[in-house]
A and B are shown apart, each in its own frame.
Chain A
Amino acid sequence: MVELTTPLNSDDLEKLKAGDRVLLSGVIYTARDAAHRRIKGAIEKKEKLPFPLKGSLIFYVGPTPPPPGKPIGSAGPTTSGRMDPYVPLLLEQGVKGFIGKGKRSQQVKDALKEFKGVYFVATGGAGALLSRCIKSSEVIAYEDLGPEAVHRLEVEKFPLFVANDVHGNDIFQQGVEKFRIS
């Protein structure tokens, strides 16, 4: 088990291997389909960005609304593949990692290698369990998008797996090969 705190430096990222279990603490930002479309537009038009992209970690999530007394509702990852087209651009802008569920395209894997970024997965369908590790949540942009608004989250020991590391390894490929019976 590797314990990491944001901001992540190149050393931290270099050491991570696909399959490593990570407990992440610090600040991460949420964005999914609609927010990505807007962020891309903002980069292209050189408009204000919802958060500083350099060194950041993006969590693909659309949480349920916070019930009274809780910082956030259920908050598990959504399918990352839908955000694949945006990854190279975001890595170019300095984003260091992404948290979601599911496979990435070859283009994403190549870009992660090139820009030394890491793709983490959180347990899909464990939104209640993961919400316990989120200590604060604040909508910082695109409030009109409802569940797709950009949140700034403070997380503590948020459980993750390294899916694609900076060396080009892929946990999905490795794991499935081990258990496939043909």
Chain B
Amino acid sequence: MRVIESQKIVEAVSEKLIEINVELDPAICKSLEESLEKEESFLGKELINQLLENSRIAIQENLPICQDTGVVVAFVEVGEEVRIKGETLEKAINAGVAKGYEKGYLRKSMVSDPIFKRVNTGNNTPAIIHTELVPGDKLKIKVAAKGGGSENMSKLKMLKPADGPQGIIDFICQVVDEAGPNPCPPLVIGVGVGGTMEKAALLSKKALFMPPHEKNPDPELADFEEEILKEVNKLGVGPLGLGGRITALGVNLLTYPCHIASLPVAVNLNCHAARHGKIEL
């Protein structure tokens, strides 16, 4: 068994969350720069330039890219040969969140009791943690700081198998069109297809961890992602929703086998500030 001190997890999570909130993912920067050539709207170009300028100012001034520093979502892969010493994994991750959000001057955006009291928990915990047991002696944590604006515009629908690929495209376009300016386009779109209701939602969130221009390893899915992106960018929503060609920077899709009667589709939207980081201990 390999022993990992829980304090190591606390420190790593804290530092990674500060880093991803301040430094815009280089893959997103590249994607934004490339989109400038395709954007036909003068205003749209101006807004993309503002977002690029914003990412430079954030680093210069050591400020978060966006004031919504998000809810922390963690996907954890625990090696079967790993033993965590000290606090539990969940406590360690949450302690890392609390430490990072205080030290990094990040906004605390979590409320307890979603229905009645809605009192701010004061340290941005709890994080949303998904744990998976895998072979090996490593502990891998992928963290995201997920903004509320884009999360609120995300949707899930149980389609009929007969709806097929066109039904999936239509649903994604409907979600993006109805969301309009609210999720802060240009977007990164995570799509989960298959499994069950909760599996599709989980896949759509996982898909957001992939760089927006990364091609799906499955050629059929790669073509499908490209087709979805093309259709989404015909909507005209554009940067900030003020009209333009670049409504989304990329679409990432993950699939899973499903029941003969089902075709679950989850669409998780992310603004350009797709804040994701990887930790390996």
Chain A residues proximal to chain B, CB less than 8 Å: 19, 34, 61-67, 70, 73-76, 78-79, 81, 101-103, 121, 123-129, 131-132, 145-148, 159, 161, 171-172, 174-182
Residues on B facing A (Cβ under 8 Å): 40-41, 43, 47, 50-51, 53-55, 57-58, 61-69, 105-109, 118, 120, 122, 148-149, 152, 180-182, 184, 234-238, 240-245, 271-273
Known contacts A78-B68, A124-B271; A34 and B107 CB within 8 A of each other: no
- B240 and A124 within 8 A (CB): yes
B245 CB contacts on chain A under 8 angstroms: 179
Asked if A67 and B236 make an inter-chain contact with CB atoms under 8 angstroms apart, the answer reads no
Q: Which of A63, A101, A121 contacts B107 (CB 8 A)?
A: A63
> In the assembled complex, which residues on chain A have CB atoms less than 8 Å from the CB atom of B108?
146-147
User: Shortest distance in angstroms between A157's beta carbon and chain B's nearest beta carbon?
Assistant: 14
With contacts A73-B105, A102-B180, A102-B181 known, is A176 near B65, CB below 8 A? no
Q: Considering the complex of A and B, which 6 residue pairs feature the smallest CB-CB distances, nearest first?
A: A175-B243, A179-B236, A180-B236, A124-B184, A128-B58, A102-B182
In the complex, what residues of A have CB within 8 A of residue B118's CB? 34
Distance of B260 from chain A, by nearest CB (Å): 35
Determine whether the beta carbon of A172 is less than 8 Å from that of B67. Answer: no
Question: What is the CA–CA distance of A46 and B86 in the complex, to the nearest angstrom?
Answer: 54
A126 engages B51 (CB within 8 Å): yes
Task: Establish whether residues A64 and B69, one from each chain, have CB atoms under 8 Å apart when the complex forms.
Answer: yes
Q: Which residues of B contact A179 (CB under 8 A)?
A: 40-41, 236, 238, 243-245
Main secondary structure of the interface of B (DSSP, over half): loop
* Contact, CB under 8 Å: B54 / A128: yes
Q: B67's contact among A19, A73, A81, A132, by CB below 8 Å, is which?
A: A73
- Contact yes or no, A65 B107, CB < 8 A: yes
Q: Which of A19, A66, A67, A181 contacts B234 (CB 8 A)?
A: A181
Q: Which of B149, B234, B235 contacts A124 (CB 8 A)?
A: B149
* 27 CB < 8 A contacts A-B: A19-B43, A63-B67, A64-B107, A67-B63, A67-B105, A73-B64, A73-B107, A79-B148, A79-B152, A102-B182, A103-B180, A123-B47, A126-B53, A126-B54, A127-B68, A128-B65, A129-B57, A146-B120, A147-B108, A148-B120, A161-B43, A175-B41, A176-B238, A178-B41, A179-B40, A179-B243, A179-B244
Given A101-B181, A146-B120, A125 contacting B234 (CB threshold 8 A)? no
Q: Are B105 and A102 in contact (CB under 8 A)?
A: no
Asked if B244 and A175 sit within 8 Å, CB to CB, the answer is yes
- In the complex, the answer to whether A127 meets B234 with C-beta atoms within 8 Å is no
| List of B residues within 8 angstroms of A182 by Cβ | 234
Q: How many Å lie between the Cα of A182 and that of B173 in the bound state?
A: 12
Name the one of B50, B122, B181, B234 contacting A126, with C-beta atoms under 8 angstroms. B50
Residue of A nearest to B184 (CB): A124
A180 to B238, CA, bound (A): 9
Q: Which residues of B contact A126 (CB under 8 A)?
A: 50-51, 53-54, 66
What A residues does B109 contact at CB under 8 A? 62, 147
CA A76 – CA B271 in complex, angstroms?
13
Closest to B22 in A: A128
Interface contact A78-B149, CB-CB below 8 Å: yes
State A31–B82 Cα separation when bound (angstroms). Answer: 47
> Shortest Cβ distance from B42 into chain A, in angstroms?
11
Contact in complex: B243, A178 (CB < 8 Å): yes
B243 to chain A, nearest CB (A): 2
C-alpha spacing A181/B244, complex, angstroms: 11
Given the contacts A101-B240, A126-B54, A79 and B107 also touching, CB distance less than 8 Å: no
Q: Is B182 in contact with A81, judged by CB distance below 8 angstroms?
A: yes
Contacts of B57 in A (CB 8 A): 128-129, 132
Q: Is the CB of B234 within 8 A of A64?
A: no
Asked whether A125 and B181 contact (CB < 8 A) given A174-B243, A176-B243, A178-B236, the answer is no
Contact B69 A172 (CB under 8 A): no
**Whole-angstrom distance from the CB of B51 to the nearest CB of chain A?**
6
Q: B242: which A residues are within 8 A, CB to CB?
A: 121, 161, 171-172, 175
Name the residue on B nearest A159 (C-beta): B50
Cβ A103 vs Cβ B182 within 8 A: yes
Residues of A within 8 A of B67 (CB): 61-64, 73-76, 78, 127
